[in-house]
A and B are shown apart, each in its own frame.
Chain A
Amino acid sequence: MVVIQKKIKKIDFGILPPDTVRKMSQIRIVTPDTYDEDGYPIEGGLMDLHLGVIDPGLRCKSCGNRMVSCPGHFGHIELVRPVIHVGYVKMVYTLLKATCKSCGRILVPQEEIEKYKELLARDTEGETEEDELLDIIASTKKVSECPHCKAQQATVKIVKPTTFYEDEQRLLPSDIRRRMELIPNEDLIVLSINSARARPEWGVLTVLGVPPVTTRPSITLETGERSEDDLTHKLVDILRINQRLRDNISAGAPQLIIEDLWDLLQYHVTTYFNNEVSGIPPARHRSGRPLKTLAQRLKGKEGRFRYNLSGKRVNFSARTVVSPDPNLSLNEVGVPKKIAEELTIPEQVTEWNIDHLKKYIESEEYPKANYVIRPDGRRKKIGELNREDVIEELEPGYLVERQLKDGDIVLFNRQPSLHRVSMMAHRVRVLPGRTFRLHPVVCKPYNADFDGDEMNMHVPQTEEARAEALSLMLVQDQIISPRFGAPIIIGDQDFVSGGYLMTKSGVSFSRRLAERILVKSGITKMPKPDVEKDRFSGKLLFSMSLPTQLNMDYKNRLCKDCDKCLKAKCPYDAYVRIRKGKLLTGVIDKVSYQGILLDTIFREYGSDAAREFLDGSTQMVLVALMDQGFTASVEDSDISDEAKKKIQDLIADAERDVNLLIKMQHDGELKRIPGKSLKETLEDNIMAILGKARADSGNIAAESLGNDNSAMVMSRVGARGGILNVTQMAACVGQQAVRGGRVLRGYRNKSLPHFKEGDVGIDSRGFVRSSFMKGLTPIEYFFHAMGGREGLVDKGIRTAKSGYLQRRLINALQDLVLRGDGTVRDATDTIVQFQYGEDGIDPQKCYGNDAVQFKKETIYYDEVERDNVEDVREEGEEYE
């Protein structure tokens, strides 16, 4: 494949001079008609074949190419009278005010001009402040006599958008153009107008460029009717008025009529450039929809810049629903066969792989080749008919596009792509079904769940791209988040509960089950049974997924912060001790899976080891979890009658306290919190009492449910939900908040029609006594919905606001790159930081926020306690 790589060095901006517009033009457009009765483009019309072709079968009269290969060519319209370009009104206005009406010089004495020029020269060297340069325009304001030719100056006024008056006298665009022509180039420099690129008179148009038809294609409706592009409509308007103006002038119509038509032409040209100019009504389609003209095509989120230039559509991509599959490696993505058959990877034919590639071409089913590309760039689809021929002619230099197969590198992405781990490289695993499959541990970086989320896949097409994806973007290398320097690819939910249930003290497995657990996680060595003959402890089995030499001590989530830590003898299984890759004490929970254990493995043993640990341990933990069974049913929220009674009493007590407070406030006995009104004080106190009541009732419920209750287990080990969820399910849902306080709104002096006016009791202000288990009363339900609604509204606003914040941040910081000399610089090579982060440390390699870890333990492990832990693996027996 021959690649000609040209690099664009720079792009110049300027105004198109009228001569250039004529030179660029292939044809002068004169008639407002587009097609004749046969539907053939009219010569000299807006669809003239010189402007390019959009109909199949026709040839371009300028370049002779057909539809796709003709790039389109410009035409032009000669305007009978000049009109002002809306985009340059501001420049024209400034110049009219700042220059002399008779000699065109800037209204500043010569020596001042020289001074400014000098300033300007220094400015390009970055030595002056921008503000000094603005002064020159301001300094011309009060000048009434030209310092060069002594002519008296008039005041110029503008009526937006495009009409000018000089001392109440209308300034016609032709006058303005003449005035602009007078201004000498030397004076323009001072006004920071680059006269080589933009002579001011070019801002008053005498000739209008007509864009190629390819930029304003018409569409043929089902009825066979043609529907023209908005730009074409606008150009038709301009041509019509231009024609009428010409006719009237040659007919010698009165000046008034000519000026009216002239203004109309100005209106059409103005709206042709920008249909959202303030001061004039936007041009509308017959249906009443405002036309989308040039400025609208560029502007905003759906404009050319943001929609087509900053973001481009790509080939070799796929999108479908995602679903979970813990049997995959976290590096893998399950790709539906249908997608794998469609997407291809180009393989260069060499003398070494030619036989191998021929097999793909030969094959009639799945891993086959879809296309062959000849060295001359011609692409051939492989089908029944030409299969033999293609194999025959295949030789080094050809490209074979073969279907995606297991092990290929692809990029996988879920929107919104808020951070870089929203797009990672995975290895393909072709699977039956119609959904992408991913390992649940990578949900967190993608922020994916499986309630219908869709994700995108991209297939890199060059060796370079694949190499970069593999070495920079592979999932296993993203385990540590660059935001906070701790694992972001983590086992959560079931993996945590599973880890707990498997490694809890006293849990053991039969040989059969142990074999299943180990095989599932790809371990082919059996440890020696450690509980009794043929019984294996969960801790032992879990250890099999740990790196062999791992030594660690840490406290897990169950730690109760005892006064004196018993360390390995912890009665709560909260002290985790790992020696030589064997889990000696402690239980696996959230802390292990989402923090220190995974973190340490990644750092000490690298990303391969971390991947192996996550893949292996999540597998075994799930087998263990499924073996034991882990459910939460209505029964799990059912607490004893005794507890129910206690909770009722508790809430009754709280209600009494609240009523007492209200009474105190009535009697003026309540002590005000400094700085708060009495009412606020009361509300605060009530909220505190009710909050405490719910917390207490939660504790009663928790006690009644016991530690083995599923919800309690999940909340204790950090799998899902907290004690609050247990409370709400089993004990009491509690106070519903709207706007950070109790429900106050609704009716006059009451929250709902069911209450008396002025009722301040707990029930009327959104306290929900019931638990979800018991069920909410209609009134409670309503209050609960009020709180819920607020949450939804809040979320909506937040996403919009934070989205914009993100866009601004990215835009402001995107050019900052860490350079080879350790500095951070922007696109102009200006130094923003002399040393990145003041120490040059990569946040992704940080330990939390710290650049390094002080590992006194290393010594400790090495010398003090490399005690006699037997290596479970080495002495284990092999099984098949």
Chain B
Amino acid sequence: MSDSLEKYVGKLPMAIMKKLREETKDLKAAEARKVADNVLEQFLKNQAEPGEAVGIIAAQSIGEPGTQMTMRTFHYAGVAELAVPQGLPRLIEIVDLRREPKMPIMEIHLQDDIKSDEDKVISFAENMENVDMKELASIEEDFVNKRIIVVFNEKSLNEHGISLDDAVKKTEKEVRRKAKNKEGNQMMFEPGFSTLRSLRRFAARLNKIKLCGIDGIHKAVVLPEEDGSGWFIKTEGTNLKAVLEREGVLPSSVQSNNIREIEEVLGIEAARNAIIREAKMVLDDQGLKVNPRHVMLVADVMTYNGKTQSIGRQGVSGAKTSVFARAAFEETVKHLHNASIQGTKDELKGITENIIVGQPIPVGTGLVKLGMK
């Protein structure tokens, strides 16, 4: 069957070829070729024309529906605890490339042997959660004797998969002080506190020690997989590197909504894909139809020189070569002064520059010149 379509390979993109094969699999060879011819014809006919201002169209296609988006924070896919900015604020967050999203979230799928067992997944999730000392131990301030007594709750230590020994050691390391009178699940700090204030401060520090879990993961929730094949974990807070390295995690399935982090850990291509995925997610769940080609172009602009750049004066717009283009966008005076110091030349290659000097712009019909034969 597939032989009859062989001659179309290379002429059509792989995705279309794949779909074509699928669609025509129960047709006769001649019929299949007829469909394929039609598809090829459409494909060639539907090519975009040279000179098209694809950038502006992409920008408009993403900006225009912005006016129709909601602003409110919605609760994430039925998970009550993870309230994620949606709609416009999230979209702005994505193009701004904030160092950390307002609500960083990870989705972690586990290897088959773990994910089918809910209890295992739950304990896996609990082990991941970054837990404060105060939730694992009671910390008593003994003001009379000026000392602090820590009593670990062995049960909760167990739940989070950390041994008493480790807990003690970790605590000592964190506060850089040896504990005294270690007895069972108790220990004591008596480092000669002179004032009550310093005692209290020390206790507060103890309270905040992260005893276990992965840094940055504040909360982990277990949810059923959509296809019913088991459970997966959704976390508040991200730490892509540590999660990927964890035993039992299916690395290829891990998702984070923190684009900067993805760039750091997985590189620029991954960042580009993350921008596309996140932006598309926002648009889709606002019910706004936008061709992915536009989103892709925005993502490409943000990543094409190998580093992520935000949309705005700190990023793409600030990096333009044309003085006029930068001055007309924001920080007018600064750009003009710098240009004069550096003796910059504006080559008038872009759109704004040519508008400013009153010349035809190098887009569409302004891009072609006619010669007389």
Residues of chain A touching chain B, judged by Cβ–Cβ distance below 8 Å, are 7-15, 87-88, 91, 192-194, 196-198, 274, 295, 298-300, 303, 305-306, 309-310, 312, 418-420, 468, 472, 482-486, 673-676, 680, 684, 740, 794, 797-799, 801-803, 805-806, 808-820, 822, 824, 826-833, 836-843, 845-846, 848-849, 851-856, 858-859
Please tell me if B351 contacts chain A, counting CB pairs below 8 Å.
Answer: yes
B52 to chain A, nearest CB (A): 4
Please name the residue on chain B nearest to A812 by beta carbon: B316
The 9 closest A-B pairs by CB, nearest first: A194-B343, A816-B55, A197-B343, A675-B81, A806-B63, A802-B66, A813-B55, A837-B293, A827-B350
Q: Check A684–B51 contact: CB distance below 8 A.
A: no
Q: Does B195 make an interface contact (CB < 8 A)?
A: no
For residue B357, CB closer than 8 A to chain A, the reply is: yes
Contact among A196, A814, A828, A852 with B55 in the assembled complex (CB-CB below 8 Å):
A814
Given contacts A675-B221, A798-B67, A815-B350, 4 further A-B contacts (CB under 8 A): A12-B344, A468-B365, A809-B60, A854-B23
Known: A805-B95, A812-B311, A859-B31. A818 touches B38 (CB 8 A): no
Which residues in A have their C-beta under 8 angstroms from that of B290? 483-484
Q: Given A813-B297, A837-B293, A854-B35, are A845 and B45 also a contact pair (CB < 8 Å)?
A: yes
Q: Contact at A813–B332, with CB atoms within 8 Å?
A: no
Cβ contact within 8 Å between B340 and A811: no
Q: Tell me if A817 and B52 are in contact (CB < 8 A).
A: yes
- Cβ 8 A contact of B57, one of A11, A299, A843, A859: A843
With A418-B63, A673-B80 already in contact, the answer to whether A306 and B46 are too (CB < 8 A) is: no
Query: B294 to nearest A CB, angstroms?
Result: 7
User: Nearest residue in B to A298 (C-beta to C-beta)?
Assistant: B332
Q: Which residues of A contact B66 (CB under 8 A)?
A: 798, 801-802, 805-806
Q: In the complex, what residue of chain B is closest to A90 when comparing beta carbons?
A: B337
What are the residues of chain B within 8 A of A829 when measuring CB–CB? Answer: 349
Q: Which of B263-304 contact A (CB under 8 A)?
A: 289-294, 296-298, 300-301, 304
Please state if B95 and A806 are interface contacts (CB–CB under 8 Å). no
B63 neighbours in A (Cβ, 8 Å): 418, 802, 805-806, 809-810
Query: A832 CA to B299 CA in the complex, in Å?
Result: 10
Q: Is the CB of B67 within 8 A of A418?
A: yes
Whole-angstrom distance between the alpha carbons of A468 and B366 in the complex? 11
State in angstroms the CA–CA spacing of A794 and B349 once bound together.
40
Residue pair B317, A13 in contact (C-beta under 8 Å): no
Contact A484 B291 (CB under 8 A): yes
Please measure, in the bound complex, the distance between the C-alpha atom of A845 and the C-alpha atom of B42, giving whole angstroms: 9
Residue B349 contacts which of A486, A812, A827, A838 (CB distance < 8 angstroms)?
A827
Residues of A contacting B337 in the complex (Cβ-Cβ under 8 angstroms) = 87-88
Q: Which B residues lie within 8 Å of A12 (CB)?
A: 343-346
Q: Is the CB of B291 within 8 A of A483?
A: yes
Partner of B289, one of A8, A274, A484: A484
A88 to B342, CA, bound (A): 12
Query: Contact between B342 and A483 (Cβ–Cβ < 8 Å)?
Result: no
Q: Give the distance to chain B from A414, nearest Cβ to Cβ, in Å.
A: 13
Query: A812–B350 contact, CB under 8 A?
Result: no
**Is B329 among interface residues, defined by CB-CB distance under 8 A?**
yes
Residues B356 and A309 in contact, CB atoms below 8 Å apart: yes
Whole-angstrom CA separation of A858 from B23 in the bound complex: 14
Which chain B residue lies CB-closest to A855?
Answer: B38
CB neighbors of A among B55-102 (8 A): 55-67, 69-73, 79-81, 88-89, 91-92, 95
Query: Are A842's CB and B47's CB within 8 A?
Result: yes
Q: A808-B311, A836-B48 are in contact. Are A300 and B332 (CB under 8 A)?
A: yes
Cβ-defined partner of B69 (8 Å) among A193, A468, A802: A802
Residue pair A845, B332 in contact (C-beta under 8 Å): no
B184 at the binding interface (Cβ < 8 Å): no
Can you show 18 pairs from A to B with CB atoms below 8 A apart? Answer: A192-B342, A197-B342, A295-B333, A309-B328, A310-B355, A420-B60, A483-B65, A484-B289, A802-B88, A813-B55, A815-B55, A818-B48, A818-B52, A836-B48, A842-B46, A845-B46, A852-B39, A852-B43
B59→A809 contact, CB < 8 A: yes
- Known pairs A419-B64, A859-B34; A274 contacts B333 (CB<8 A): yes
**Given A798-B71, A836-B54, A842-B46, is A849 in contact with B328 using a C-beta cutoff of 8 Å?**
no
Q: Across the interface, do A808 and B312 meet the contact criterion of CB distance under 8 Å?
A: yes
Q: How far is the CB of B133 from chain A (nearest CB, A)?
A: 22
Cα distance A418–B349 in the bound complex, in angstroms? 24
Q: Is the CB of B343 within 8 A of A482?
A: no
Q: Which of B20, B80, B333, B367 contacts A854 (CB 8 A)?
A: B20
CB distance from A440 to the nearest CB of B (A): 20
Q: Which residues of B contact A (CB under 8 A)?
A: 13, 16, 19-20, 23-24, 27, 31, 34-35, 38-39, 42-43, 45-67, 69-73, 79-81, 88-89, 91-92, 95, 219, 221, 289-294, 296-298, 300-301, 304-305, 311-312, 315-317, 320-325, 327-329, 332-333, 336-337, 339-352, 355-359, 362-365, 367
- For A296, the closest partner residue in chain B by CB is B333
Min CB distance, B354 to chain A, in Å?
Answer: 8
On whether the beta carbons of A298 and B333 are closer than 8 Å, the reply is: yes
- Report the number of A-B residue pairs with Cβ-Cβ less than 8 Å: 337
Q: Output the nearest chain B residue to A306 by Cβ-Cβ distance.
A: B328
CA distance A806 to B274 in the complex (A): 21
List residues of chain B with CB within 8 A of the CB of A196. Answer: 343
A193–B342 CA distance with the chains assembled, in angstroms: 5
**CA gap between A263 and B359 in the complex, in Å:** 44
**In the complex, chain B residues whose CB is within 8 Å of the CB of A832:** 297, 300-301, 304
B60 touches A418 (CB 8 A): yes
A814→B290 CA distance, assembly (Å): 18
CA distance A815 to B46 in the complex (A): 23
Q: A810-B63, A817-B52 are in contact. Are A11 and B357 (CB under 8 A)?
A: yes
Residues of the B chain whose Cβ atoms lie less than 8 Å from the Cβ of A818? 48-54
By a CB distance below 8 angstroms, the chain B residues around A482 are 57, 61, 291
On whether the beta carbons of B60 and A837 are closer than 8 Å, the reply is: no
B59 lies within 8 A of A812 (CB): yes
**Docked-complex contact A91 and B341, CB < 8 angstroms:** yes
B residues near A13, Cβ cutoff 8 Å: 323, 336, 339-340, 342-346
Are B88 and A485 closer than 8 Å at their CB atoms?
no
B13:A838 contact, CB within 8 angstroms? yes
* Complex contact A8–B359 (CB within 8 A): yes
| B59 shortest CB reach to chain A, Å | 4
When distances are taken between beta carbons in the complex, the residues of chain A under 8 Å from B72 are 740, 794
Q: How far is the CB of B157 from chain A (nearest CB, A)?
A: 22
Q: Which residue, of B23, B55, B298, B305, has the highest number of chain A Cβ atoms within 10 A?
A: B55
Bound Cα distance from A837 to B322, whole angstroms? 26
B289→A809 contact, CB < 8 A? no
Give the CA-CA distance A809 to B43 in the complex, in Å: 29
- Scoring B61, B72, B79, B355 by chain A CB atoms within 10 A of each residue's CB, the highest score goes to B61
The CA-CA distance from A673 to B51 in the complex, in Å, is 56
CA distance A827 to B50 in the complex (A): 15
Q: Is the CB of B346 within 8 A of A303?
A: no
Tell me which residues across on chain A come within 8 A of B311, comparing CB atoms: 808-809, 812
Residues of A contacting B13 in the complex (Cβ-Cβ under 8 angstroms): 838-839, 851
Q: Which of B16, B35, B45, B340: most chain A Cβ within 10 A?
A: B340
Contact of A9 with B348 in the complex, beta carbons under 8 Å: yes
Which residue of chain A is the closest to B289 with respect to CB atoms? Answer: A484
A813 CB contacts on chain B under 8 angstroms: 55-56, 58-59, 297-298, 301, 316
The CA of A10 and the CA of B290, in the complex, are separated in Å by: 38
Determine if A812 and B67 form an interchain contact, defined as CB atoms under 8 angstroms apart: no
Residues of B within 8 A of A833 (CB): 296-297, 300, 304
A848 and B57 CA atoms in complex are apart in Å by 16
B315 to chain A, nearest CB (A): 7
Complex Cα distance, B61 from A418, in Å, reads 9
- Pair B57/A420 contact, Cβ less than 8 Å: yes
- Chain B residues with CB under 8 Å of A839's CB are 13, 16, 43
A13-B340, A798-B69, A808-B311 are known contacts. Are A828 and B301 too (CB-CB below 8 A)?
A: no
Contact of A483 among B294, B301, B350, B356 (CB under 8 A): B294
- Write out the residue numbers on chain A whose beta carbons fall within 8 Å of the beta carbon of B57: 420, 482, 843
Query: A811 near B317 (CB under 8 angstroms)?
Result: yes
